Amino acid sequence: MRAIEKREVPVGSVRRWLEPGPVVLVSSHWRGRSNVMTLGWHTVMEFTPSLVGCVIAASNYSFELVRRSGQCVINLPTVELLDVVVRVGNTSGAEIDKFSTFGLTAEPALAVEAPAIAECHAHFECRLFDDALVERYNFFIFEVVRARVAATPEHPRTVHYLGEGRFMVAGEILDRRALFRPEML
């Protein structure tokens, strides 16, 4: 695994990477403690402000770090990181330091205290925007405040969870721009 160079992109463009539904690694930091969790329950909610909703179960060690700090980084791993993604999802930050255990590099984010994960394809730095559904559904609405993405590959081989330990890897790209009304693009 290696650290990947990124360039900054507009926060309104994050649907490009999150709407296809990949598994992400959410990193967080609060009072000297950092953690990372694997997360598959998220959705884009708005372009401007750039909103993303995520379910972070209260049983996760990350839940309190995210809730108390009001921040996180949504990192986008690719298939090369799949075994790490699974191991991160099957261990708890209450017991181990997942960064050192799994060889992930925590690097400073631009606008939040939560670290970015250097080995991922993209980082979306988030601030808690609305916690109205946190108590009832563990559902956090974040605003993406900075976004950085690797220049290549254009189409990262993201992983998508099917349950029962199985993952789908992002496949072929099809272009249907010709069928769109211009204002829908």
In the complex, the residues that contact a copy of itself under the rule CB under 8 A are 13, 15-16, 19-22, 40-46, 51, 53-55, 79, 82-83, 86-87, 89-90, 130, 132-133, 136-137, 139, 141, 155, 157, 159-181, 184-185
Residue among 43 and 105 whose Cβ is closer to a copy of itself? 43
The residue behind tokens 């290549």 is 152
147 to each of 74, 75, 157, 165, how far by Cα in Å? Answer: 9, 10, 19, 29
> CB of 158: closest distance to a copy of itself in angstroms?
8
> CB of 87: closest distance to a copy of itself in angstroms?
6
The residue behind tokens 């609305």 is 130
Residue among 18 and 109 whose Cβ is closer to a copy of itself? 18
Question: What residue ranges in 5-100 does DSSP mark as E strands?
Answer: 7-9, 24-30, 33-39, 42-46, 51-55, 71-76
Structure tokens at 103: 């060889």
Residue among 79 and 96 whose Cβ is closer to a copy of itself? 79
